[in-house]
Amino acid sequence: MAGVTTNAVAVAIVALLSVLVTSVRSAENYDTSLAKSYSSGWLAAKATWYGPPTGAGPEDNGGACGFKNANKYPFSSMTSCGNEPLFQDGAGCGSCYQIRCLKNNNPACSGEPRTVVITDMNYYPVARYHFDLSGTAFGAMAFGGQNDQLRHAGIIDMQFRRVPCNFPGMKVTFFVLPGANPNYLPVVPAYANGDGAVVKMDVMRSRNGRPTGTWESMYRSWGTVFRLDSREPLQGPLSLRITSDTGKSRVANNIIPYGWAGGRSYWSDVQF
């Protein structure tokens, strides 16, 4: 370091940090609208996987969105974490994507599109768009009989595009979280066809068994959990209105009955 002043070293360090910060910012400067669009075509991404090789990801079959039983129909373990342009602070929960990997990505890749649902958050992305897939979904991109071979790759290049969700035979279901009480109503809407992602939910309460006619906005607590805190006890029946990320709305009238309780699922008769 002879002949190099302390000032020069400091300037060099600052310059290096500036390059690194700029690089990180550039990697994070993704266009969320591309991931949300149905017309973006195939986009490049990285894929990894987590959890059991043939599981749904998390050991409890849930995830940061708040969905339950992701190992069962209709999600059937075809699930994924998404980094921020996919998860979108929870607004991307429930969105459906076709994924594929090609033989030039890995010899085991079939190139056949498979559909996954965003059910969890990827906290450590390795690319601008990063799907941390369930073991089941990652292996599903392989040729028949080569699922394990593909999973052994650990991380691969892949492509994705958004598609409408389609859960045959399902209606929108509302899961009231455990711990709910008449002054605290946390609800997860699940199995929405079409956009899949619910970005707004409103509740209409009843008084003396009759609807008030007034919608009250719930707020996103975390993932796709919408919450209402009420000084006045919430007595059923309660109606819920959900709105998808493209502005479509559906109303489930009197879906939360009198005597409702946390830890229960309420099946509606509405669907997108």
pLDDT in tens, 106-150: 999 999 999 999 999 999 999 999 999 999 999 999 999 999 999
Categorize the per-residue pLDDT at 2 as very low, low, confident or very high, splitting at 50, 70 and 90: very low
Is the domain of 76 the same as that of 196?
Answer: no
What is the chain's mean pLDDT, rounded? 90
- What burial class does residue 224 get, using C-beta atoms within 10 Å of its C-beta: 0-12 exposed, 13-18 middle, 19+ buried? buried
**Amino acid 29: pLDDT:** 53
Burial 120-134 (b: 16+ CB within 10 A, else e): bbbeebebbbbbbbb
Is the domain of 54 the same as that of 111?
Answer: yes
**Amino acid 208: pLDDT:** 87
pTM: 0.88
Is the domain of 133 the same as that of 255?
Answer: no
Looking at 117, 145, 163, the residue that finishes a domain is: 163
Looking at 137, 163, 189, the residue that finishes a domain is: 163
Is the domain of 228 the same as that of 133?
Answer: no
For residue 27, is it within any domain?
no
**Amino acid 32: pLDDT:** 84
Kindly tell me if the per-residue pLDDT of 4 is higher than 70: no
CATH of the domain at 96: 2.40.40.10
**Amino acid 9: pLDDT:** 35
CATH of the domain at 259: 2.60.40.760
Q: For 202-237, write each residue's pLDDT tens digit.
A: 999 999 889 999 999 999 999 999 999 999 999 999
Is the domain of 70 the same as that of 137?
Answer: yes
Kindly tell me if the per-residue pLDDT of 21 is higher than 50: no
Is the domain of 63 the same as that of 157?
Answer: yes
**Amino acid 17: pLDDT:** 33
For residue 111, is it within any domain?
yes
DSSP state of 142: B
In terms of residue numbers, what domain contains 58? 32-163
**Amino acid 30: pLDDT:** 62
Is the domain of 157 the same as that of 256?
Answer: no
For residue 12, is it within any domain?
no
Kindly tell me if the per-residue pLDDT of 18 is higher than 90: no
For residue 229, is it within any domain?
yes
Q: For 139-163, write each residue's pLDDT tens digit.
A: 999 999 999 999 999 999 999 999 9
**Amino acid 209: pLDDT:** 85
% of the chain with per-residue pLDDT over 70:
89
Strands of the sheet containing 173-176, edge to edge, are 219-222, 225-229, 184-190, 173-176, 264-267
Domains in the chain: how many in total? Answer: 2
Kindly tell me if the per-residue pLDDT of 19 is higher than 80: no
For residue 19, is it within any domain?
no
Residue 177 identity (one-letter amino acid): L
% of the chain with per-residue pLDDT over 90:
87
Kindly tell me if the per-residue pLDDT of 196 is higher than 50: yes
Is the domain of 159 the same as that of 217?
Answer: no
Is the domain of 179 the same as that of 158?
Answer: no
